[in-house]
Amino acid sequence: MKGYVPPPRMVVSNEPLPITRNITITEGISVKDLAEKLDIRAKDLISRLLARGVFATINQTLDAELASEMARFFGADTNVITFEEQAAKDIDAAAAASDETAAEAIPRPPVVTIMGHVDHGKTTLLDAIRLTNVAEGEAGGITQHIGAYKVRIGDPESPAYGREIVFLDTPGHEAFTRMRSRGAKATDIVVLVVAADDGVMPQTLEAIDHAHAAEVPIIVAVNKIDKPEAMPDRVKKQLADRGLMPEDWGGKTVFVDVSAKKKTNLNLLLEMICLVADLAELKATPDRAASGVVLEAKLDRGRGPVATVLVQNGTLNDGDNFVVGNVYGKVRAMFDDRGAVLESAPPSTPVEILGMEGLPQAGDQFVVVADRDKARGISEYREQKAREAALAKSSRVSLEGLAEQVKSAGTKELNVILKGDVHGSVEVLSDLLQKLSNDEVRLKLLRSGVGAITETDVLLASASNAIIIGFNVRPERKAQELAEQEEVDIRLHSIIYELQDEIKRAMSGLLEPTIKETYHGRAEVLETFRIPKVGTVAGCRVIDGLIKRDSEVRLLRDNVVVFKGKIASLRRFKDDAKEVHNGMECGISIANYGDIKIGDVIEAFATERIAAEVIA
């Protein structure tokens, strides 16, 4: 149209602004929220994202890396925190801004996990405590609906009368480790049950390793002291040798002699749990939004996704919106360990909740949020990230990976779990491995033991991102399957110096992959043809195996390798062929090579890079 002047095109500057401030962003921040934090118009941010090749709407979530890049462009450094950390900050800020005096943190009941060897009386001890100390009128009438319950000390003569303790009924160390691998710290105290007539056993040592790795105080309950063959002092000596020195011997570990069958000293054990809890000064603030951790989750046919949640701080109320891992929901109903319906749950209360949109995992952080839409956004962002992670698969540490890390970065830490056939070998190897630490790599021995590599070892390795070394031992079948599933690196050896050399090479960043060759087949040259624009083509008969179009080839003349290269074309009559089998005739041309003679042999093979293996 005559006289029409088009509006000027919007020009986005490609020059970043100088960094002048610092902002805090959460994972999965929306374009709108990031623009508000940067104090710019949302359309400017969308324009910049468009220039970067990212099509985004105002409500779209951005991953932390992209959000940080955008912030730097607009002159702000970023500090990325999780959604749970941001929620906790918002709650604290709201409490500080309110006119009312900030709610005081008050002591909360301790959360206790009972661990120990099979048949040392864990379940009997739990049942005895539960039946003896539940509030009056409920004794013997409890239906345990969930894997955690509260016990109230019911002995009026006890100094801890009326206090409560939460017991987690975990199915062993595996659940404990799985939760720890997800970063959950649900347990305040571990009660280690050891039978006085049996002493320290392999699973007892595993329990100690797990408790130490989680940095949780240990109370030792020496069970079965009513038996005539009981020797509590022997147990004390065995555990003292493992670093758990009894208090009456000048150490710091609390030991209590108990009998679950005769109900001896159960109140003393509970008092000691309360005492250790008092020393830890366990506190929580009831007057705030709840946060906690998922203990277990299941799919109920009638009720849908059901999760057992331990409320760790704040009070959970009926109708609260929440985010748990990559799932969001609203508390539709809440039950305690006796199946009673609850309206609210104070700190250190295990509850079963309904109303989730999906199934969370044990160890996921549970946090109450005010904004349901925000909860949905975070949940969807995490679900997408979880899918990406599942596709990319988790990158567990392997010796080759460590070698690459050392080449590309500075000091690294290599966690190792060592299993051997005899105690002597394990001791020698433990000393040897610990002496191998150098300026570049610190080698940390998480645990060492005698016997086959078990599922528990694999779980500990998975939780701690460790590698497992087996000396003259093999993994159990289930442990091998779990290791493949969890992608845990297991190295098996029978010669000490080879093990030492392999670890040394990995720590020096020298463990290079080897090239493995797979033989495909060979063909004899019967005739040669020169074709313009193609070069020399060999008319061949396949005399062994098969020739593939994508194979690498060697040209042999009198069994001497004349040339090594790749196939340029493979034909049967006039048609391109994918592969030609034994006995068939074909035409082969070799890329960038034409000196082929009648009687030559073309050998086809494939190569692949595999990790350097040492004799196991």
- 455 in Cβ contact with 482 (< 8 Å): yes
Look at residues 13, 11, 138, 153 and name the one whose alpha carbon lies nearest to residue 74.
Answer: 13
| Residue 527: half-sphere exposure toward Cβ, Cα within 13 Å | 6
Who has greater pLDDT, 143 or 543?
Answer: 543
Residue-level pLDDT at 134:
45
Q: Average pLDDT in the 365-391 region?
A: 76
The DSSP secondary structure of 265-289, one letter per residue, reads SHHHHHHHHHHHHHHHT-EE-SSSB
183 Cβ partners below 8 Å, 6+ apart? Answer: 363, 365
- At the second CATH level, the architecture of 107-284 is 3-Layer(aba) Sandwich (3.40)
Q: How far is CA 284 from CA 179, 272, 291, 375, 521, in A?
A: 21, 21, 11, 24, 72
CATH number assigned to the domain covering 515-610: 2.40.30.10
Share of residues in the chain with pLDDT > 90 (%): 6
CATH of 291-391, one of 3.30.360.10, 1.10.340.30, 3.40.50.1820, 2.40.30.10: 2.40.30.10
Handedness of CA 224, 226, 231, 233 (dihedral sign): positive
Q: Domain-by-domain residue ranges, the chain?
A: 21-81, 107-284, 291-391, 399-507, 515-610
Residue-level pLDDT at 63:
77
Is the confidence at residue 336, as pLDDT, over 90?
Answer: no
Domain 399-507: what homologous superfamily? Translation initiation factor IF- 2, domain 3 (3.40.50.10050)
Per-residue H/E/C for 407-426? HHCCCEEEEEEEEECCHHHH
* Model confidence pLDDT, tens digit, residues 293-334: 888 777 777 888 888 888 988 889 988 888 888 888 889 999
Residue with tokens 């890079």: 609
* Model confidence pLDDT, tens digit, residues 193-228: 888 888 888 778 888 888 888 788 889 988 888 888
241 Cβ partners below 8 Å, 6+ apart? Answer: none
* Model confidence pLDDT, tens digit, residues 473-518: 888 888 888 888 888 888 888 777 788 887 777 676 655 556 677 8
Per-residue H/E/C for 541-576? EEEEEEEECCCEEEEEECCEEEEEEEEEEEEECCEE
pLDDT band at 93 (very low <50, low <70, confident <90, very high): low
Strands 111-116 and 189-195: parallel
Is the confidence at residue 525, as pLDDT, over 90?
Answer: yes
Is 515-610 the same fold as 107-284? no
Q: Average pLDDT in the 127-155 region?
A: 59
Q: Rounded CA gap, 53 and 32, in Å?
A: 18
Residue-level pLDDT at 489:
87
266-280 and 122-133 helices, crossing angle to 10°:
90
Residue 30's CB: how many other CB atoms inside 10 A?
23
Cross-strand bridge partners of residue 471: 420, 493
Cβ-in-10-Å burial (0-12, 13-18, 19+) of 367 comes to buried
Strands 76-81 and 111-116: unpaired
Residue-level pLDDT at 553:
92
Q: Is residue 120 classed as helix, strand or coil in its secondary structure?
A: coil
Q: Is residue 607 classed as helix, strand or coil in its secondary structure?
A: strand
Residue with tokens 């209590």: 256
* Model confidence pLDDT, tens digit, residues 168-190: 865 555 556 656 555 457 788 88
Q: Rounded CA gap, 296 and 280, in Å?
A: 26
* Model confidence pLDDT, tens digit, residues 35-83: 888 888 888 888 888 888 888 888 887 877 888 888 888 888 888 777 6
Residue-level pLDDT at 136:
38
Q: 265 phi and psi, to 5 degrees?
A: 60, 20
Residue-level pLDDT at 126:
81
Q: Average pLDDT in the 509-530 region?
A: 78
Q: Average pLDDT in the 426-444 region?
A: 77
pLDDT band at 397 (very low <50, low <70, confident <90, very high): low
pLDDT band at 524 (very low <50, low <70, confident <90, very high): very high
Residue-level pLDDT at 94:
58
Who has greater pLDDT, 332 or 231?
Answer: 332
Q: 412 phi and psi, to 5 degrees?
A: -125, 160
Cross-strand bridge partners of residue 255: 220
Of 292-306, 372-386, 597-611, the poorest mean pLDDT is in 372-386
Who has greater pLDDT, 603 or 6?
Answer: 603
Q: How far is CA 581 from CA 69, 544, 584, 600, 601, in A?
A: 55, 8, 6, 18, 15
Residue-level pLDDT at 538:
92
Cβ-in-10-Å burial (0-12, 13-18, 19+) of 168 comes to buried
- At the second CATH level, the architecture of 21-81 is Orthogonal Bundle (1.10)
pLDDT band at 527 (very low <50, low <70, confident <90, very high): very high
Residue-level pLDDT at 585:
92
Q: Rounded CA gap, 378 and 27, in Å?
A: 8
Strands, DSSP E only, in 390-548?
Answer: 412-420, 441-450, 466-471, 490-493, 514-531, 535-548
Look at residues 53, 103, 48 and name the one whose alpha carbon lies nearest to residue 71.
Answer: 48
pLDDT band at 562 (very low <50, low <70, confident <90, very high): confident
pLDDT band at 141 (very low <50, low <70, confident <90, very high): very low
Strands 254-257 and 218-223: parallel
Q: What is the token pair recorded at 265?
A: 């000293």
Greatest mean pLDDT range, 3-17, 172-186, 419-433, 486-500? 486-500
Q: Rounded CA gap, 420 and 472, in Å?
A: 6
Share of residues in the chain with pLDDT > 70 (%): 81
pTM: 0.57
